[in-house]
Amino acid sequence: MKPQRKLALVTGASGGLGLEFARLLARDGYDLALVARSETKLRDAAQSLSNEFGVEAVPVVLDLARPDSADELARQVARCDVLVNNAGFASNGRFDRIDENRISEEILLDVFALTRITRKYLPSMIERGDGKVLNIASTAGFLPGPFMSVYYACKAYVISFSQAVAEELRGTGVTVTCFCPGATDTGFAERAQTGETLLFKLPVSTARAMAKAGYRAMQRGKLVEVPWPPSNWFVELSSRLTPRRMLLWFSRKAVEVEGR
């Protein structure tokens, strides 16, 4: 009888970083549960990965910004060996002008869903003494973010949460890794309306390169990974050394769009 392959669950898997993480996992022989709300793109991705790598790739069409999404996901996918919490989005604009429903959805997806999904799958990982969690944060999490205040705060939460839970799980055989990429060429900028900002006018990384860096860090059980290029390391270092007023000014200029 063939040994059962391990299962990896990837959120936000219909494109960008999520799809690249799924590709790396499939290459290494993991079966996949791919989660996103874009049904056509998700089913196409699942079929493509299954055909290319000979693994089972199951699309789970689900809006993770719904408050009950973690419960529904756990009903459809009972357990996993690797959890990649990648789903998230950002809003660009002055806080008081952003639609309140969008703010709620952003927090529900970037913070609440990530937290509850992690809680759903950790107990069985701990019971088996084996498992990996990869939480996708951002270099934004090291900074306050004028005009993207909610997103930057959400990613700060992910960094803090990931490190704390990782320490709690030390010695259990389960690792939690927090991956903090900088500007990356995915669909993120379009949804966040940041494509014309200084941040995305500078050279950006490819989704494939970033996924490889995050995947390597997860496999090593690294606590926090801030990947190449050096500009990402500069952001993390600046957050600790730069005077707060100057840091706020630089952070603002990176993402501000005039008139928004």
Residues 117, 109: Cα–Cα separation, whole Å: 11
Would the CA dihedral through 246, 250, 252, 256 be positive or negative? positive
Q: Note whether 134 and 21 are within 8 A (CB).
A: yes
Residues 103, 62: Cα–Cα separation, whole Å: 19
Token output for 76: 């459809």
In a domain, 1, yes or no: no
Residues 12, 18: Cα–Cα separation, whole Å: 5
Residue 199 lies in domain: 7-255
β-pair partners for 84: 10, 134
Q: How many CB atoms lie within 10 A of CB 49?
A: 22
In a domain, 260, yes or no: no
Average pLDDT over residues 54-77: 98
Average pLDDT over residues 35-43: 97
What contacts 17, CB < 8 A, 6 or more positions away?
A: 86, 136, 181, 184, 186, 207, 210, 211, 214
The position carrying tokens 């993480």 is 21
What is the reported pLDDT for 188? 60
Classify residue 260 by its DSSP letter.
-
In a domain, 138, yes or no: yes
Q: Where are the alpha helices (DSSP H) in 36-147?
A: 39-53, 69-76, 100-107, 114-128
Digit-coded pLDDT (tens) for 1-30: 356 899 999 999 999 999 999 999 999 999
Digit-coded pLDDT (tens) for 140-150: 999 999 999 99
> How many domains is the chain partitioned into structurally?
1
In a domain, 129, yes or no: yes
Residue 107 has pLDDT above 90, yes or no: yes
In a domain, 2, yes or no: no
Least confidently predicted of 62-71, 87-96, 191-200, 228-237: 191-200
In a domain, 155, yes or no: yes
Confidence of residue 199 (pLDDT cuts 50, 70, 90): low
Domain with 88 in it: what CATH number?
A: 3.40.50.720
Residues 42, 33: Cα–Cα separation, whole Å: 10
Return the percentage of the chain with pLDDT > 70, whole number.
Answer: 90
Residue 256 has pLDDT above 90, yes or no: no
Number of H helices, E strands in the chain: 11, 9
β-pair partners for 7: 31
Q: Of 30, 121, 151, 215, which one is the catalytic site residue?
A: 151
Q: Note whether 234 and 131 are within 8 A (CB).
A: no
Average pLDDT over residues 173-187: 88
Residue 200 has pLDDT above 60, yes or no: no
In a domain, 46, yes or no: yes
Return the percentage of the chain with pLDDT > 90, whole number.
Answer: 79
What is the reported pLDDT for 258? 60
In a domain, 190, yes or no: yes
Is 151 among the residues known to form the active site? yes
Digit-coded pLDDT (tens) for 45-61: 999 999 999 999 999 99
Average pLDDT, the chain: 92
Residue 204 has pLDDT above 80, yes or no: no
Residue 191 has pLDDT above 90, yes or no: no
Q: How many CB atoms lie within 10 A of CB 233?
A: 14
What is the reported pLDDT for 202? 57
Q: How many CB atoms lie within 10 A of CB 145?
A: 24
Token output for 85: 């919490």
Confidence of residue 229 (pLDDT cuts 50, 70, 90): confident
What is the reported pLDDT for 193? 55
What is the reported pLDDT for 1? 39
